[in-house]
Chains A and B, each alone.
Chain A
Amino acid sequence: MKDLNIYMCGVGGQGIGLLAEAMLRACHKAGYDVKGVDTHGLAQRGGTVISHLRIGKKIHTPLIPSGKANIVIALERLEGARAASEMLIEGGKVIFYDAQYQTIGNRLGKFKYPTLDELEKSVKAKKGESVRVFEEELSDPRMQNIVIIKKMIELEWIPGLSVKIVSEALAELMHVKTLEKNLELIKQ
């Protein structure tokens, strides 16, 4: 397989750390060479939070060059749109959880929050495809990351990313109780 650059993003506090760690471990279990790096520190206070995951044999740095992400996984719409224009490669794929968290600029009327159409457009401009994910009945917003992982398994954008492998990865990362709740969602 060719090298894959997977760019994950969201808003500080959304649990992107868990998403990134689960994806890193799952890809490793699926037999890939992996390198990753997350944002820590200041941005975790409600700023744009990102995580890079690169899989393939010939990779040196964990940082994905701008405009070279084959897959964007966003936990929030505006961050999905931002990643689509700044990071997505031509022909790349975007999956986003349609949580909508306004920026201060949106609330003060300086910027418009992107519509679904606008996000679509920026993906199309790169000849890419996008998938919207939203779970109306989600009991806990901190499970949005699990919903998106579930969809990633279904989409098969990363060959070998299976329910079994993801479950094993998650089992390394959380207490039994939380794990059960999350696995229930994934296996639904």
Chain B
Amino acid sequence: MKKFYEQLTDKQPWQGLFMGNHAVARAMLEAGVKVITSYPGSPTPEIAEALNSVPQEMRDFHFEWATNEKVATEIAFGSSINGNMSVVFFKSVGLNVAADSLVQLGLLNLTGGLVVILGDDPGANSSQNEQDNRHFARMSYIPVMEPATPSEAYKMFLEAAKLSKKHQMPIILRLTTHVCHAKELITFGAIGESKVFKSEFDIKNGHYLPITKTVFPLKKKAMEKLDLIKKESERSPFNRVYAPFDCEEINGKKLGIISSSMPALSVMENIDNSGNAVDLLQINFSYPLPETMIADYLKEKDEVIIIEELDRIMEYEIKSLAFDRNIKCRILTRKTHDDIMGELTSERTWDILSGHWPEVFESGIKPVTQPFANPRIPQMCPGCGHRSAFHAIKQALPKGTITVGDIGCHSLGFFEPYNMGEMLLSMGHSNGTAAGLTIGNEKRKVLAFIGDSTFFHAGLPAIINAVLYDHDFTLVIMENGTTAMTGHQPHAGSGEIGEKISIDKLLESIGVKFIRRVDTYQQSKLTEYIKESLDHKGFSVVIASHPCMLKFMKQQRRKEGFVQKHVEIDQNKCKRHLTCIEDFGCPSFVKNENGSITVNEDLCIGDGSCRPTCPVSAIDFKKEAR
């Protein structure tokens, strides 16, 4: 059978089951994209997984994991003004980091074209918020396309690339979590002749230096481009009516629904199930809004419900155009704050629709839920070095210590049984926040965490600040050699891209006076270092290091002759202190009905990091029978 990359790079048209993210990667190859950059974040990292599956010698594109989203955006910008079709992609909140550069893109002539792929996350499945990035597009004069399915994501990318090149402007392809990860049969086109990399930057292609008064002609141009794009959205096949039943009046009224992207699919299911003559105007090429198309639709109807996910953006724009054009159609919308939150699944959509039109949506996808207690909160993996770190650090903290969390697998330290890392804003916030917590604070110690990928991503500026002012807190760098939470991507300190950049040397060179490094499995030493560092007056750093064990075990299992080790608990020694369960908290431990503690061998990786935590040394490596 064909390898994944062989499918992905097949020059001929073909059909296959593909995930949205992978389909978009294929579309990039068909569109002749030359430069692609990103920083990892759910729900988009599988785009990179697909691109990286292509062997280096077969690539006619350049892919790069940048240090953060802003750098990624700037690289894509640079290559685009050199004449190369370019792409940058990242998760929803990645846009906040990229924003300072991204908001400028709409003003400039991007000669090669540039598509920005956003992975928004309604429902906050894997994010610290569910921000609606359609706002950003409006703020920065960038058109938006919002596919509902993987097939449409593929087609829309091709269209976005074409329009972007034609109008020399950025286009946002806004994916959401369940479009990224949905899978279906997709028909792909051919991949044409490979294009060469260009280096055609010419200042004559535009003015590229917006400052004071020069901003205005650029801004005007951006708005004129948007006017042109609006004509495209007015006639786009991505904006269309779904009408499974012949249109007729219901109770003397003509009823319609306007929706976009995935929620529109929920609406379709509800219309199908209702069997009633309601139709849907689906607006997936959503900014600039095709106003004439929408006005014509409204004029046909007596009542229209607007179903959009997250914020009220289409709603306000549609109401305003109806007002301006004096359209009499009654516009109904979501009613509650709850409706502004989370994904609009088909059952939630039913709720909204039947709330307005109970006689139309009487049967159908009624929400049927019997909530089940006992949540399964994510936990750090068996053997995770972060767990040993939390356990050891906890022993060292005086009462009242404030612990500042950051983003990564170690954010899970907030949950029981560790309860460490008590606040979170964004990647790299911990040092700034910790500094703020120390000001005028003579009473309580402050300790901050940060992951190693985050250290490079957005951690450094606040660390430099802490050095300059010698803010009195301890930073623990949770080093595991990878960007673990998002699927083990490389970073500046992992040594997989170019030469490894040493965190220790960086810290020394900027003048950090207290630096200690320890493997987290050496728990008593880590405890000691933390005590020392908290006693140190001023800024101090402890690098708590251990390789990510999920990644490590995957590599080990692939090796010839690998034998899985385990630990066991000596039932004669065990005094039921329950430290292993209640404090250390490895998920491999099982608490039995009779109160005894055993080890679940499906989960245990036999690393032994739990052994030092048992006060009566009842945990030991199992003498494997094999």
Q: Are A35 and B602 in contact (CB under 8 A)?
A: no
Which of the 9-residue segments A43-51, A127-135, A148-156, A157-165 touches chain B?
A43-51
The chain A residues found within 8 Å of chain B, CB to CB, are 11-13, 21, 24-25, 28, 33-48, 58-63, 65-68, 78-79, 81-82, 85-86, 89, 99-109, 111, 141, 171-172
Which of the 9-residue segments B55-63, B182-190, B200-208 touches chain A?
B182-190
Q: Are B367 and A66 in contact (CB under 8 A)?
A: yes
> Which chain A residue shows the least CB distance to B591?
A107
Q: Are A107 and B589 in contact (CB under 8 A)?
A: yes
Contact of B485 among A42, A85, A105 (CB under 8 A): A42
Q: Are A61 and B17 in contact (CB under 8 A)?
A: no
**Known contacts A62-B178, A82-B372, A86-B371; A36/B600 CB under 8 A:** no
B581 contacts the other chain (CB 8 A): yes
Chain B neighbourhood of A105, CB < 8 A: 374-375
Chain A neighbourhood of B217, CB < 8 A: none
Q: Are A78 and B17 in contact (CB under 8 A)?
A: no
CA–CA, A108 and B600, complex, Å: 16
**Known contacts A45-B380, A45-B381, A104-B585; A65/B126 CB under 8 A:** no
Chain A neighbourhood of B369, CB < 8 A: 66-67, 86
Q: Are B377 and A60 in contact (CB under 8 A)?
A: no
What are some 5 contacts across the A-B interface (CB < 8 A)? A35-B182, A36-B182, A45-B412, A82-B374, A89-B368
CB distance from A67 to the nearest CB of B (A): 3
B370 contacts the other chain (CB 8 A): yes
CB distance from B505 to the nearest CB of A (A): 31
Interface of B: prevailing SS: loop
Q: Are A46 and B182 in contact (CB under 8 A)?
A: no
> Which chain A residue shows the least CB distance to B589?
A107
Chain A neighbourhood of B415, CB < 8 A: 104
B142 contacts the other chain (CB 8 A): no
CB distance from B337 to the nearest CB of A (A): 21
CB distance from B179 to the nearest CB of A (A): 9
> Which chain A residue shows the least CB distance to B378?
A47
Q: Are A34 and B372 in contact (CB under 8 A)?
A: no
Chain A neighbourhood of B590, CB < 8 A: 100, 102, 107
Q: Are B370 and A85 in contact (CB under 8 A)?
A: yes
Q: Are B591 and A35 in contact (CB under 8 A)?
A: no
Most B Cβ at <10 Å: residue of A36, A66, A68, A100: A66
Bitwise, B61-80 to A at CB < 8 A (1) or not (0) is: 00000000000000000000
Q: Are B42 and A42 in contact (CB under 8 A)?
A: yes
Chain A neighbourhood of B365, CB < 8 A: 65, 68
**Known contacts A41-B43, A66-B347; A58/B600 CB under 8 A:** no
CA–CA, A48 and B185, complex, Å: 27
Q: Are B603 and A103 in contact (CB under 8 A)?
A: no
B625 contacts the other chain (CB 8 A): no
> Which chain B residue shows the least CB distance to A21?
B183
> Which chain A residue shows the least CB distance to B46?
A40
Most B Cβ at <10 Å: residue of A43, A63, A85, A107: A107
> Which chain B residue shows the least CB distance to A114?
B374
CB distance from B293 to the nearest CB of A (A): 21
Bitwise, B588-601 to A at CB < 8 A (1) or not (0) is: 01110000000011
CA–CA, A12 and B374, complex, Å: 16
